[in-house]
Amino acid sequence: MRKIYHIPGRPPLYCNSFLIITQAGNGIIIDPDAPAEEYNRLLEKENARLTHILLTHGHHDHIGSLKQLHQPGVQLWMNPGDRVMYSSRMDAVRTFGPASADLYTQLPDGSLGFEPDGLFEDGGVLHIDEVEFTTLFTPGHTKGSTCILCDGVMFSGDTLFCGDIGRTDLPGGSSDDMRSSLNKLYRLVPDDVDVLPGHEGFSNMKQEKETNPYLCSCRGRE
Protein backbone atom coordinates (compact mmCIF):
# COMPACT_ATOMS: atom_id res chain seq x y z
CA MET A 1 0.00 0.00 0.00
CA ARG A 2 1.43 3.37 -1.00
CA LYS A 3 -0.81 5.63 1.08
CA ILE A 4 -4.12 6.04 2.96
CA TYR A 5 -5.87 9.41 2.87
CA HIS A 6 -8.53 10.33 5.40
CA ILE A 7 -11.23 12.48 3.78
CA PRO A 8 -14.16 13.71 5.93
CA GLY A 9 -17.62 13.25 4.41
CA ARG A 10 -20.52 15.66 4.18
CA PRO A 11 -21.93 17.70 7.07
CA PRO A 12 -23.61 17.32 9.47
CA LEU A 13 -22.42 13.75 10.16
CA TYR A 14 -18.91 13.98 8.62
CA CYS A 15 -18.43 10.26 8.02
CA ASN A 16 -14.78 9.21 7.94
CA SER A 17 -14.03 8.30 4.34
CA PHE A 18 -10.71 6.91 3.12
CA LEU A 19 -8.81 6.67 -0.13
CA ILE A 20 -6.15 3.96 -0.43
CA ILE A 21 -3.53 4.15 -3.17
CA THR A 22 -1.83 0.87 -4.12
CA GLN A 23 1.76 0.53 -5.30
CA ALA A 24 0.48 0.07 -8.85
CA GLY A 25 -1.39 3.38 -8.66
CA ASN A 26 -4.91 2.08 -8.24
CA GLY A 27 -7.35 3.84 -5.91
CA ILE A 28 -9.77 2.21 -3.47
CA ILE A 29 -12.35 4.30 -1.60
CA ILE A 30 -13.86 3.16 1.69
CA ASP A 31 -17.29 4.82 2.16
CA PRO A 32 -17.47 7.49 -0.57
CA ASP A 33 -19.25 10.34 1.19
CA ALA A 34 -17.00 13.35 0.45
CA PRO A 35 -17.61 15.33 -2.75
CA ALA A 36 -16.32 13.35 -5.76
CA GLU A 37 -13.91 16.19 -6.68
CA GLU A 38 -11.94 15.65 -3.47
CA TYR A 39 -11.17 12.03 -4.35
CA ASN A 40 -10.46 12.96 -7.96
CA ARG A 41 -8.02 15.69 -6.91
CA LEU A 42 -6.04 13.23 -4.74
CA LEU A 43 -6.15 10.52 -7.43
CA GLU A 44 -4.72 13.02 -9.90
CA LYS A 45 -2.01 14.09 -7.44
CA GLU A 46 -1.02 10.42 -7.00
CA ASN A 47 -1.28 9.74 -10.74
CA ALA A 48 -3.71 6.99 -9.78
CA ARG A 49 -7.08 5.80 -11.06
CA LEU A 50 -10.10 4.70 -9.06
CA THR A 51 -10.78 0.97 -9.41
CA HIS A 52 -12.80 -0.02 -6.33
CA ILE A 53 -15.31 1.32 -3.82
CA LEU A 54 -15.82 -0.72 -0.63
CA LEU A 55 -18.67 -0.02 1.81
CA THR A 56 -18.61 -0.67 5.54
CA HIS A 57 -22.43 -0.50 5.43
CA GLY A 58 -25.23 1.03 3.45
CA HIS A 59 -26.29 4.09 5.44
CA HIS A 60 -26.96 7.29 3.53
CA ASP A 61 -24.24 9.27 5.35
CA HIS A 62 -21.53 6.96 3.92
CA ILE A 63 -22.46 7.04 0.23
CA GLY A 64 -23.01 10.68 -0.76
CA SER A 65 -20.92 10.52 -3.94
CA LEU A 66 -21.30 6.82 -4.69
CA LYS A 67 -23.34 7.15 -7.83
CA GLN A 68 -21.06 9.83 -9.23
CA LEU A 69 -17.91 7.75 -8.59
CA HIS A 70 -19.32 4.33 -9.55
CA GLN A 71 -18.41 4.65 -13.20
CA PRO A 72 -17.56 1.88 -15.69
CA GLY A 73 -14.29 0.26 -14.61
CA VAL A 74 -14.95 0.96 -10.93
CA GLN A 75 -16.13 -2.02 -8.89
CA LEU A 76 -18.51 -1.54 -5.96
CA TRP A 77 -18.24 -4.17 -3.22
CA MET A 78 -20.50 -4.46 -0.20
CA ASN A 79 -22.15 -6.87 2.22
CA PRO A 80 -25.22 -8.61 0.78
CA GLY A 81 -27.11 -7.77 4.01
CA ASP A 82 -27.30 -4.06 3.07
CA ARG A 83 -27.82 -4.57 -0.64
CA VAL A 84 -31.53 -3.90 -0.38
CA MET A 85 -30.79 -0.28 0.53
CA TYR A 86 -29.66 0.24 -3.03
CA SER A 87 -32.04 -1.71 -5.20
CA SER A 88 -35.06 0.60 -5.30
CA ARG A 89 -36.97 3.07 -3.20
CA MET A 90 -39.77 0.52 -3.04
CA ASP A 91 -37.46 -2.06 -1.45
CA ALA A 92 -36.08 0.54 0.94
CA VAL A 93 -39.60 1.55 2.02
CA ARG A 94 -40.54 -2.10 2.46
CA THR A 95 -37.47 -2.81 4.56
CA PHE A 96 -36.85 0.36 6.51
CA GLY A 97 -40.10 2.31 6.40
CA PRO A 98 -40.82 5.55 4.52
CA ALA A 99 -38.86 7.87 6.83
CA SER A 100 -35.60 5.98 6.35
CA ALA A 101 -36.15 5.50 2.65
CA ASP A 102 -36.57 9.25 2.22
CA LEU A 103 -33.02 9.78 3.43
CA TYR A 104 -31.79 7.99 0.32
CA THR A 105 -33.78 10.11 -2.05
CA GLN A 106 -32.23 13.18 -0.38
CA LEU A 107 -28.70 12.13 -1.27
CA PRO A 108 -26.91 14.63 -3.52
CA ASP A 109 -26.79 12.10 -6.33
CA GLY A 110 -29.88 9.98 -5.44
CA SER A 111 -27.97 6.78 -4.84
CA LEU A 112 -30.78 4.26 -5.21
CA GLY A 113 -31.31 2.05 -8.22
CA PHE A 114 -28.08 0.22 -8.94
CA GLU A 115 -26.33 -2.99 -8.04
CA PRO A 116 -22.96 -3.82 -6.50
CA ASP A 117 -20.36 -5.56 -8.65
CA GLY A 118 -19.17 -7.84 -5.86
CA LEU A 119 -20.46 -9.08 -2.53
CA PHE A 120 -18.23 -9.57 0.52
CA GLU A 121 -18.08 -12.91 2.27
CA ASP A 122 -17.70 -13.31 6.02
CA GLY A 123 -14.00 -13.98 6.61
CA GLY A 124 -13.41 -13.62 2.89
CA VAL A 125 -10.34 -12.07 1.32
CA LEU A 126 -10.35 -9.57 -1.53
CA HIS A 127 -7.01 -8.96 -3.27
CA ILE A 128 -6.50 -5.63 -4.98
CA ASP A 129 -2.92 -5.39 -6.23
CA GLU A 130 -0.67 -6.05 -3.21
CA VAL A 131 -3.38 -5.16 -0.68
CA GLU A 132 -5.27 -8.00 0.99
CA PHE A 133 -8.63 -7.01 2.44
CA THR A 134 -10.28 -9.36 4.93
CA THR A 135 -13.96 -8.74 5.56
CA LEU A 136 -15.62 -9.65 8.86
CA PHE A 137 -19.40 -9.47 8.98
CA THR A 138 -20.45 -7.53 12.07
CA PRO A 139 -24.26 -7.05 12.00
CA GLY A 140 -25.86 -4.98 14.73
CA HIS A 141 -25.76 -1.38 13.45
CA THR A 142 -27.23 -2.62 10.15
CA LYS A 143 -27.76 -6.16 8.88
CA GLY A 144 -24.89 -5.77 6.43
CA SER A 145 -22.29 -3.96 8.57
CA THR A 146 -18.76 -5.10 7.79
CA CYS A 147 -15.34 -4.46 9.32
CA ILE A 148 -12.71 -4.32 6.60
CA LEU A 149 -9.12 -5.18 7.58
CA CYS A 150 -5.91 -4.66 5.65
CA ASP A 151 -2.26 -3.96 6.49
CA GLY A 152 -2.73 -3.63 10.27
CA VAL A 153 -5.74 -1.34 9.93
CA MET A 154 -9.45 -2.00 10.48
CA PHE A 155 -12.12 0.19 8.89
CA SER A 156 -14.80 -0.46 11.48
CA GLY A 157 -17.65 1.58 9.97
CA ASP A 158 -20.37 2.31 12.51
CA THR A 159 -19.81 -0.94 14.42
CA LEU A 160 -16.91 0.11 16.66
CA PHE A 161 -16.02 3.70 17.54
CA CYS A 162 -13.28 5.08 19.76
CA GLY A 163 -14.74 4.34 23.22
CA ASP A 164 -18.21 3.64 21.88
CA ILE A 165 -20.26 1.56 19.43
CA GLY A 166 -22.80 2.35 16.72
CA ARG A 167 -26.53 2.68 17.25
CA THR A 168 -28.62 -0.47 17.15
CA ASP A 169 -32.05 1.20 17.20
CA LEU A 170 -32.20 2.09 13.50
CA PRO A 171 -34.05 -0.12 10.98
CA GLY A 172 -32.07 -3.33 10.49
CA GLY A 173 -30.19 -2.84 13.78
CA SER A 174 -30.06 -5.42 16.56
CA SER A 175 -28.43 -5.22 19.98
CA ASP A 176 -28.15 -9.04 20.14
CA ASP A 177 -26.36 -9.10 16.80
CA MET A 178 -24.12 -6.22 17.95
CA ARG A 179 -23.12 -8.17 21.07
CA SER A 180 -22.12 -11.19 18.97
CA SER A 181 -20.24 -8.97 16.54
CA LEU A 182 -18.26 -7.29 19.33
CA ASN A 183 -17.35 -10.70 20.75
CA LYS A 184 -16.15 -11.67 17.30
CA LEU A 185 -13.98 -8.56 17.00
CA TYR A 186 -12.60 -9.07 20.51
CA ARG A 187 -11.67 -12.65 19.62
CA LEU A 188 -10.36 -12.20 16.09
CA VAL A 189 -8.73 -8.78 15.83
CA PRO A 190 -5.23 -8.47 17.32
CA ASP A 191 -4.33 -5.69 19.76
CA ASP A 192 -1.91 -3.97 17.40
CA VAL A 193 -4.54 -3.27 14.72
CA ASP A 194 -5.38 0.42 14.26
CA VAL A 195 -9.11 1.15 14.33
CA LEU A 196 -10.42 3.70 11.83
CA PRO A 197 -14.14 4.09 12.57
CA GLY A 198 -16.87 5.55 10.39
CA HIS A 199 -17.18 8.65 12.60
CA GLU A 200 -15.01 10.75 14.91
CA GLY A 201 -11.60 9.76 16.32
CA PHE A 202 -9.27 6.87 15.59
CA SER A 203 -8.03 4.22 18.02
CA ASN A 204 -6.46 0.77 18.17
CA MET A 205 -7.72 -2.61 19.34
CA LYS A 206 -5.58 -2.69 22.49
CA GLN A 207 -7.04 0.60 23.67
CA GLU A 208 -10.58 -0.46 22.78
CA LYS A 209 -10.25 -3.84 24.50
CA GLU A 210 -8.96 -2.11 27.63
CA THR A 211 -11.16 1.00 27.79
CA ASN A 212 -14.24 0.67 25.59
CA PRO A 213 -16.96 -0.57 28.00
CA TYR A 214 -18.73 -2.47 25.22
CA LEU A 215 -15.57 -4.40 24.31
CA CYS A 216 -14.40 -4.79 27.92
CA SER A 217 -17.60 -6.72 28.56
CA CYS A 218 -16.50 -9.31 25.97
CA ARG A 219 -13.54 -10.27 28.17
CA GLY A 220 -13.84 -13.87 29.30
CA ARG A 221 -16.50 -14.66 26.68
CA GLU A 222 -14.03 -15.30 23.86
Task: Provide the minimum distance between the beta carbon of 56 and Fe ion in the complex, in angstroms, as a whole number.
Answer: 8
Applying CB under 5 A, among 59, 60, 70, 199 the residue interacting with Fe ion is 59
* Nearest residue (CB) to Fe ion, 31 versus 208: 31
* Nearest residue (CB) to Fe ion, 61 versus 208: 61
Q: Give 128-159 as a DSSP string.
A: ETTEEEEEEE-TTSSTT-EEEEETTEEEEETT
Query: Which strands form 16-21's sheet, in the order they lie side by side?
Result: 3-8, 16-21, 26-30, 49-54, 75-78, 118-119
When asked if residue 158 is in the footprint of Fe ion (CB under 5 A), the reply is yes
* Nearest residue (CB) to Fe ion, 6 versus 221: 6
| Residue with nearest beta carbon to Fe ion | 59
Residues 135-154 that bind Fe ion (CB under 5 A): none
Contact 138, 186 (CB under 8 A): no
- By CB under 5 A, the count of residues binding Fe ion is 2
Q: Using CB under 5 A as the criterion, which residues of the chain lie in contact with Fe ion when the complex forms? A: 59, 158
